[in-house]
Structure 1
Amino acid sequence: MTQTHCDVAIVGAGILGLSHAYAAARRGLRVRVFERTATPLGASVRNFGQALVTGQPPGVMSDLARASRPIWAQWAQGAGFSLRRNGSLLFARTEAEEALLEAFCAGRAPALGYNVELRRGSALNDLYQGRFRHHRAALLGLDDQQLYSREALPSLIEYLRRELGVQFHFSTLVRDVDSGTLRTTEGTFTAGQVIVCSGHDYQTLLAEAIAPLEPQVCRLQMLRARPQVDFGLGHAVLTGLSCVHYGAFADLPEAEAIRAQIRRDTPELEEQGIHLLISPTPHGELIIGDSHHYGSDAVPFNAEFVDRLMLELAEDTLGMRVEVVERWQGVYGSRGPGPFSVLRAADGVTAVLMHTGVGMSVGPALGERTIAGLFG
């Protein structure tokens, strides 16, 4: 078969692959992207579409999330997809959760530049005509953004193809890569640099190089629902449960009281790794989740009681019933040696792996960082 050369060949058309394609193409490099399915079907389109700055731990992750924010704005304008930039709402439902938000706003937030506001009293009651007055407080994360992944990623792909000349090879399995060569079901290609962004697939490519990282897979139960009353929710919604999961809060001393409360009152939430996230779609529906189950593979069987737990949390948070219209399973790579790995697997071959579920939040800037490291 004929060989076709490019400057950068990227394996995977999820958010990491597209971020690296953008970073390379905007530098004038010739880019090809290979994806085994006809359209992206992995973690990037199964998620909430929340690009959060507020929840990221101090350091490299919060830096990447902040740097990703303007890139998302550029993409939304160029590709024409919906991007909400009015922030997120994290609700404190208990005294312990409120105490943590107070401590965060008094210390870490101003010290490290988290752009947040704590709303209580009349400021809380004014949110959505009093819809959330049954909570104690709300942390408004002003830098947080939200998109609808199922629509945003195809629009971004078309933008990269149309405006930056990126060539896409869908329904094309990359069987093997080594120094500058890709052997695929569409033929053999060569590239100056190969970047593998294949998500939670640790076996098809570079298995020997990835194995020492000991990564795992996280699977999540997800729902799409229609609220009983469409009150125009325009913010991502979280609760104090997220404070024991997200690095911006989880190491604060006040988080231990929340953990103790969960273990005492609702241990099933900890057992199933549940913390509530709600994302409104542009079509008046809500994406609701999620649970977290870890292992070497994503077991395909969902438990109905887990969905019921999440729906009860959602209905309590929103103060209304919801009607489920769709259920699915999310999956992403997790539990590696850090939040992500950039691995030089061979001469001219780099693997980029996320070990946490925040690829939408940090992916755009991580792509810039990787390409800058390879090309200057």
Structure 2
Amino acid sequence: MKSEKHYDLVVVGAGVIGLATAYAARQRGLSVAVLERNAQCVGASVRNFGFVTVTGQRRGEHWRRAMRTRDIWQQVAPQAGIDVVHQGLYVLAQRPEALNVLEAFMQTEMGQGCRLLSRAEAAHELPQLQDGVGVLHSPHERRVESRDAIPLLSRWLQQSLGVDFYWNTPVREIELPRIHTSQGLFHAEHCVVCPGHDLNTLYPELIAQAGITLCTLQMMRVRPAQPLQLPGSVMSDLSLVRYEGYADLPEAAPLRARLQAEQAEHLKWGIHLIAVQSADGSLVVGDSHVYGQAEAPFARDDIDALIQDELQRVLKLPGASVEQRWTGTYASASDVVYKAQPAPGVAVGIVTGGTGASTSFAFAEELVALALGD
């Protein structure tokens, strides 16, 4: 493509934030193109859990983003042919200190719709859970298979909403209304840049001011020896000192201290448990968190062993085997999102807390509004 193309809004990046931005722009009646430097999405959006998480998100605006995003996923998924594999979340409290955190969480507005289950109720709903002192059930979460959902969402945006996609099209420079790419010149009144963890190609000086680093995580696909059906996603005590909706509560401090005494290696590598199920019965399990200025390219067996250790503490899975292992990388900062306007009509947006699938659609609405000057 060497001839010039004209659009109301161009999105740079075809990860989940870029796709959500294209959707938000089309909802406002704008003509939209998505420019992606790779032949397909290969970043965090297809490597992570596909777990649309509401419960435990940072209190306030980010929690509201997750609720809004969950609602849009619920609308979009059936139209795009995306299966919601399961719904809801079970958090196993393995220690009394963890139960105290869950009880405090239930007293906040974020606990709306959630339940604390008795041991009998938990055993009935999820018999694969190991024994604990309590279980929180949330109905809010949704699970999609991310490696399938992202391509399906792209195809639906193109075929049903008229979004144009240009793959293998890295963007070199943006000076609206001109956008310079390897495939020629695009014209647009507005542009939203969704770079994911690529912090060095577009507006690197601006992004550097935000103190954003990279987080590399390890994940795996586990095959249970016997068929099982998870009715929802599963988390554990370690999640309660990582997800800020729990971790920022005063009651989390005693739990953190006990975990430091009992599972210091897990905390050292930023490990907490998320286990979700795929349609074929396998489990996607993770994850660890290692921070730095560059992606950590090599996975470590000892970290995988710690993740598997926590999985066995939480779910009864005798004889389970690991079928796949992989790493993912996302941008990370003290705030959960980064957005900026480097020039009139241009917005840059990065989810910097590892919650792209969970907050994408709501954050995208903010980015489109910023680019349009609302």
Asked whether the two chains share a fold, i.e. TM above 0.5, the reply is yes
Q: Which deviates the most, 113-122 or 263-272?
A: 113-122
Q: How many angstroms apart in 2 are the aligned matches of 1:178 and 1:137?
A: 56
Give the superposition deviation at 1:234: 3.0
- Give the alignment partner of residue 168 of structure 2, picking from 167, 171, 187: 171
- Give the alignment partner of residue 145 of structure 1, picking from 137, 142, 145: 142
Alignment of 1:1-376 (within 5 A): 1-84=2-85, 86-105=87-106, 107-108=107-108, 111-112=109-110, 114-128=112-126, 130-132=127-129, 134-321=131-318, 322-336=320-334, 338-375=335-372, 376=374
Q: How many angstroms apart in 2 are the aligned matches of 1:112 and 1:332?
A: 26
Q: Which amino acid aligns with 2:168?
A: S
Cα distance change, pair 350–373 in 1 and its aligned pair in 2 (3 A): closer
Give the RMSD, CA atoms, in angstroms: 1.4
Q: Which amino acid aligns with 2:101?
A: L
Matched residue SS, 2:22:
helix
Q: How many angstroms apart in 2 are the aligned matches of 1:250 and 1:5?
A: 47
1:202-236 CA distance string (max 9 Å, x none):
10111122111110000001111111222111311
Q: Which consecutive unaligned segments of at least 5 residues does structure 2 have?
A: none
Give the superposition deviation at 1:181: 2.1
Give the superposition deviation at 1:268: 0.4
Give the superposition deviation at 1:169: 0.7
1:83-135 CA distance string (max 9 Å, x none):
14631111111111112112222x21xx455321111121112123x322512
Give the superposition deviation at 1:372: 3.3
Matched residue SS, 2:140:
coil
Q: Which deviates the most, 211-220 or 82-91?
A: 82-91
1:227-247 CA distance string (max 9 Å, x none):
122211131111111011111
Q: Which amino acid aligns with 2:114?
A: V
Over the matched positions of the two proteins, sequence identity in percent amounts to: 35
Q: How many angstroms apart in 2 are the aligned matches of 1:157 and 1:327?
A: 25
Matched residue SS, 2:9:
strand
Q: Which deviates the most, 212-221 or 176-185?
A: 176-185
Given that 1:178 and 1:349 are in contact with CA atoms closer than 8 Å, whether structure 2 keeps it comes out as no
Give the superposition deviation at 1:62: 0.8
Cα distance change, pair 126–113 in 1 and its aligned pair in 2 (3 A): closer
Q: Which deviates the most, 42-51 or 309-318?
A: 309-318
Give the superposition deviation at 1:347: 2.1
Q: Which deviates the most, 152-161 or 256-265?
A: 256-265
Cα distance change, pair 225–85 in 1 and its aligned pair in 2 (3 A): closer
Q: How many angstroms apart in 2 are the aligned matches of 1:86 and 1:29?
A: 33
Q: Which amino acid aligns with 2:321?
A: E
Matched residue SS, 2:157:
helix
Q: Which amino acid aligns with 1:51?
A: V
